[in-house]
Homo-oligomer: A and B are copies of this chain.
Amino acid sequence: MFAAGQAVGVPVRTPQQERSRATQARLLEATVECLVERGWSGTTTTVVATMAGVSRGAQLHHYPTKASLVMAAVEHLAERRAEEIRTEAAAIPPGPQRLDGVVDMLAAAFTGPLYMAALEVWIAARTDPELRAALVPLEARVGREMHRLTVELLGADERNPGVREAIQATLDLLRGLGVANLLSDDTARRTALLAAWKRQLATLL
């Protein structure tokens, strides 16, 4: 929705609308950066406006509250993550090694900064009823899209028995590996574990 590439192909907007979208995109990118670097409690609308180089007035105009800013940022972030995954996946050659490449790429996404930012918001929403109510439908949509994308990248056929569960287990395992990597570098253990997982997944698909 806010992906930079899309605005270019849609020349029907006025310059004012283009500026608005550029301002929004800067605010959302700064929100993600702020969540990654300072966590939920260190993320404020004032800090985000400063990081984005956007006036306080413009920030309040587009996203009047921290909740509205963070909600839009999570959506932006999910789209950016899916786009990055799609682009990287296109570079993985077909053949028997493709499954390994796709799993490695997904593992990198679930241990990368964008997933850390999402976790910050997810955890905060657990004890914030307003944010939680707003996030639940978004989480369901993001989850479905990530599942669909993984099926597509692996060329899996979910009509075969057990395939749907194998894709879900892969994504839940990667979520868990993201959490296990929060405080310390878990790369060595993760690499060994995923080597075994890839062999298993290949037989399940």
Residues of B within 8 A of A140 (CB): 184
Question: With contacts A39-B124, A123-B182, A183-B125 known, is A176 near B171, CB below 8 A?
Answer: yes
Partner of A193, one of B172, B184, B200: B172
Query: Is the beta-carbon distance between A126 and B116 smaller than 8 angstroms?
Result: yes
Query: Is the beta-carbon distance between A175 and B165 smaller than 8 angstroms?
Result: no
Stretch from A64-72, A95-103, A131-139, A150-158 contacting the other chain: A131-139
Residue among A42, A132, A172 with max Cβ neighbours from chain B (10 Å): A172
Query: Is the beta-carbon distance between A162 and B196 smaller than 8 angstroms?
Result: yes
Query: Is the beta-carbon distance between A184 and B123 smaller than 8 angstroms?
Result: no
CB distance from A202 to the nearest CB of B (A): 13
CB distance from A183 to the nearest CB of B (A): 5
Complex interface residues of chain A between 173 and 197 (CB less than 8 A to chain B):
173-180, 182-184, 189, 192-193, 196-197
Residues of B within 8 A of A192 (CB): 165
Residues of A within 8 A of B (CB): 37-42, 116, 119-120, 122-128, 132, 135-136, 139-140, 143, 162, 165-166, 168-169, 171-180, 182-184, 189, 192-193, 196-197, 200, 204
